[in-house]
Amino acid sequence: MENNEFIKVGVIGCGMIARMYKILVKLVKNTKIVAAVDPMIERAQKIAGKKGRAYDNPEEMYKNEDIDAVCIATPHFLHKPMIKQALEEGKHVFCEKPLTISVEDAREINQLDKKFIKLKIGIDYQYRYDPNCNALATGVQSGHLGKLYYANCGIYFSRDLKYFEKGLWRTKMDKAGGGTLMMHGSHILDIMIWALGDPISVIGKVDNLKFKNIEVEDFGFGIVEFENDVYAQLNNSMIVSSKPRKFGNDMVSLQVFGEKGWCEYYGPAPFSKLKWIDVKKYKTEKKYSGFFHFGKCIKAFGNWILHDEPFLNTVEESAKVLRMIMALYKSSKTGKKENVEPL
């Protein structure tokens, strides 16, 4: 790249996530939005700003813009084809979670990642850049709790029909890939996997308790088996009667229990909390600068491209939570214990 101070980005998909991305990019400094794409051109113009250019399709952006990377913030089913297109155009990729909507698609993206070795694909599992999530995962990995026994994970969201009316694709399995586990749960489930290791098998149950006319689940239970006889249970829904979070209440939680003690995380960031019980507080270096965990993730992705600094949310890492969730869906259908498919 000609300029080694910042990367030039084109944003594809200009909804809520893109608006947050634009705000944080202004604080990050190593990333600049120079173009934006959305079928609704007026939305693209808002994200591109006065100095950028707006398009209603990616092809025109690739044809006319000198960009280093794209930020893909589109409905889930578009992630794989848009990642593929960006790589073929010679661009790095920062893509919203989830990686994609099936294990088969994840395998294809993984092969593309290996094929386009000079290009980088990062997935926005931004909780990894919450200092408390980072401390939990690295502390557990380091043996701070001793031998691990099990974990509990809770995800409690409140959604109404407006959530689906604003994006009808969210109601369809072939568009969203899944419901509350995929949309809401996958962030903290990614942290659980990061801390405990690769999941081996699952027993799951998902259903529609409130929203009867959508294809994706509004609640999900699961038991996950990890290596070394470690287990986790999860409880996820989008049907809490009112929003749990008001600057101190919590939407997600993760407790990990070991022979020496246990720890508990409540979040999400930037108001998250982490406690260590029966063991000393685990101290970790302040590795990632920036405001808000999403901002830190954006900055880390820019530094990955500019300076080859390691990025936490690679294709291989981000595929783990997708593979586990897909096994939970399969288990719910078969009523049996199911293995987590390999990448």
Q: Provide, rounded to the nearest whole percent, the portion of the chain with pLDDT above 70.
A: 97
User: What is the average pLDDT score of the chain?
Assistant: 95
Q: Residue 72 forms beta bridges with which residues?
A: 12, 95
The single residue listed with the structure tokens 């502390």 is 139
In angstroms, rounded to a whole number, what is the distance separating the alpha carbons of residues 121 and 72?
A: 11
Spatial distance between the Cα atoms of 108 and 105, rounded to a whole number of angstroms: 5
As a whole number of angstroms, the distance between CA 25 and CA 41 comes to 21
Domain 7-126+294-314 shares a fold with domain 128-284+321-339: no
Minimum mean pLDDT among 34-38, 95-99, 243-247, 326-330: which range?
243-247
pLDDT tens per residue, range 139-185: 999 999 999 999 999 999 999 999 999 999 999 999 999 999 999 99
User: Given phi > 0 = left and psi -120 to 50 = alpha, else beta, which region is 120?
Assistant: beta
pLDDT for residue 247: 43
pLDDT in tens, 101-115: 999 999 999 999 999
What are the tens digits of pLDDT across the range 286-298?
A: 777 777 999 999 9
pLDDT band at residue 23 under the 50/70/90 scheme: very high
Q: Give residue 242's pLDDT.
A: 72
| pLDDT, tens digit (0-9, with 9 covering 90-100), for 55-66 | 999 999 999 999
Q: Is 332 exposed, middle or buried (0-12, 13-18, 19+ CB in 10 A)?
A: buried
CATH 3.30.465.10 describes domain 7-126+294-314? no
pLDDT of residue 243: 62
Q: What integer is the mean pLDDT of 75-93?
A: 98
- Residue 3 reports pLDDT greater than 60: no
Each domain of the chain, given as residue ranges in start order, spans 7-126+294-314, 128-284+321-339
Q: Residues 267-279: pLDDT tens digits? A: 988 889 999 999 9
pLDDT of amino acid 248: 46
- CA dist list (Å): 244 to 124, 137, 268: 24, 25, 12
Q: Nearest to residue 272, comparing CAs of 240, 236, 309, 247?
A: 247
- pLDDT score, position 249: 52
Tokens, residue 183:
């949309």
d(CA 116, CA 336): 38
Pick the closest to residue 254 from 143, 126, 156, 163 (CA basis). Answer: 156
What average pLDDT does this structure show over 11-25? Answer: 97
Beta strands per DSSP E along the chain:
7-12, 31-37, 53-55, 69-72, 92-96, 121-124, 148-156, 199-207, 219-226, 230-237, 252-258, 262-267, 273-277, 338-339
* pLDDT score at 284: 85
Residues 208-249: pLDDT tens digits?
999 999 999 999 999 999 998 999 999 999 999 876 554 445
Q: Which residues contact 42 (CB under 8 A, 6 or more apart)?
A: none
The whole model's pTM is what?
0.95
> Do residues 47 and 17 make contact, with C-beta atoms less than 8 angstroms apart?
no
Q: How far apart are CA 136 and CA 282, in angstroms?
A: 8
Homologous superfamily of 128-284+321-339 in CATH?
Dihydrodipicolinate Reductase; domain 2 (3.30.360.10)
Residue 214 and residue 226: Cα distance in Å, rounded?
Answer: 32
